[in-house]
Amino acid sequence: MRTSMRFCLLGLCASVLALGSGEQASAQSLGDHTYTSDAIEAGSRVYVADCALCHERGGAGVDGVNLRLGRFSRPLSDEDLRDVVTTGFAGGRMPAFTLSEAELNGIVAYIRAGFDPSGVAVKVGDAARGRAVFQGKGDCASCHRVFGQGPHGAPDLSEIGAIRTPATLQRTLLDPASSLRPIDRPVRIVTRDGETITGRRLNEDTYSVQLIDSNQRLRSLLKADLREFEVSTTPTMQPTTLTAEEVADVIGYLLSLQGVR
């Protein structure tokens, strides 16, 4: 069993890899979900002229803020970012800037691209609207758990905003398979007793596998006791059908999930 499974996994591994590299190209062309390369380029010029004096070229010149890594004193949507730039912040320590719409758009794009002119600048929407989509139309909460609410089937997202970038979150929403970590792959098991178990893998070694099953129980099974053991590269999550604006809002909500502090 072991040999055939590995063989199968490797075959899938190769195909996912190909998908992964192709996906990145498609993300670039996901017009509505991202800013254009021209906007990012324009933003880089605005940044050097108006922002780098305080924030420095690397984006980390102000305590508690790292613009390049998208770390702010509080989670900010793109609209919030624009507000901060145009109205100022922190009692005037961050002054208000008068910029054209194109310049404003560019500076947000440049920040969202992680200061990488050839990067992807993901749009980040409103967290409150995103929360509503997450719990309603998006049907995310039927699998994902946040701050103790919801089922355990899919990974807990309580601190997802602290460990994932906007680009990764967007990629996950649009193409879940391209973001599925190998350890999280769904498993389907049939024991020697005939019990069929499905769930999400938590850990595995040569002799055993640990998972959370569809009944939300932690299970540890010895491979020697299994009749079938399949690991799928296809996540249970489907590519989203939400609009670009809704996706941006969900990303805004996910970025606001910073764990228990």
Partner 1 sequence: MKIRNAASLLVLGLMLMPVRTEAQVTYDRILASADEPENWLTYNGTYSSQRYSQLDQIDRGNVDELEMRWMLQNQVFGAWQSNPIVVDGIMYITQRPNDVMAVDAVTGRVFWVYEHENDEAARVCCGANNRGVAILGDKLFMGTLDAHVVAIDATNGQPLWDIEIGDPSLGYSVTMAPLVVKDKVLVGVGGGEYGIRGFVAAYDADTGEEVWKTYTIPAPGEPGHETWDDDDWEHGGAPIWITGSYDAELDLTYWGVGNPGPDWNAAQRPGDNLYSDAVIALDPDTGELRWYFQFTPNDGYDYDSVQVPVLADIEWEGEDRQVMMWANRNGYFYVLDRATGEFLLGEPFVKVNWSSGLDENGRPIPTPQPEGEPTYPGNQGGTNWYPPSYSPRTGLFYFAAWEDYATVYGPQESVYLPGRMFLGGGFSVLTPTPGAPTISIGRSDPINDWTDVVGHGTVIAMDPLTGEAAWKFDQFDVSDSGMLTTESDLLFTGGREGHFHALDARNGELLWKASLGAQIVMAPITYMVDGTQYVAVISGHTMVTFALRD
C-beta of 5 vs 52, nearer to partner 1: 5
Task: Tell me the three-class secondary structure of 2-34, residue by residue.
Answer: HHHHHHHHHHHHHHHHHHHHHHHHHHHCCHHHE
State the minimum distance, in angstroms, from the CB of residue 113 to partner 1: 16
The C-alpha atoms of residue 55 and residue 182 are separated, in whole angstroms, by: 38
Tokens 């560019």 correspond to what residue? 106
**CA–CA gap between residue 52 and residue 92 (Å, rounded):** 17
Place of tokens 């970590």: 181
Q: Tell me the CB-side half-sphere exposure of residue 177, using CA atoms within 13 A.
A: 16
Q: Minimum distance from CB of 252 to partner 1 (Å)?
A: 21
Residue 103 neighbours by CB under 8 Å, 6+ apart = 42, 43, 46
The structure tokens listed for 19 are: 């998908």
d(CA 111, CA 227): 51
Q: Which residue has the tokens 């009944």?
A: 215
| Comparison of 16 and 69: residue with beta carbon closer to partner 1 | 16
Residue 4 vs 98, nearer CB to partner 1: 4
Binding site for partner 1 (CB under 8 A): 2-3, 6, 9-10, 13, 16-17, 20, 24, 168, 171, 177-183, 185, 202-207, 233
Q: What are the C-alpha distances in Å from 198 to residues 62, 67, 126, 148, 219?
A: 48, 42, 36, 23, 10
Residue closer to partner 1 (CB basis): 106 or 235: 235
Least gap, CB of 121 to partner 1 (angstroms): 17
CA pair distance 187, 213, nearest whole angstrom: 9
Residue 200 backbone dihedrals phi, psi, to 5 degrees: -110, 130
User: Tell me, what amino acid is at 9?
Assistant: L
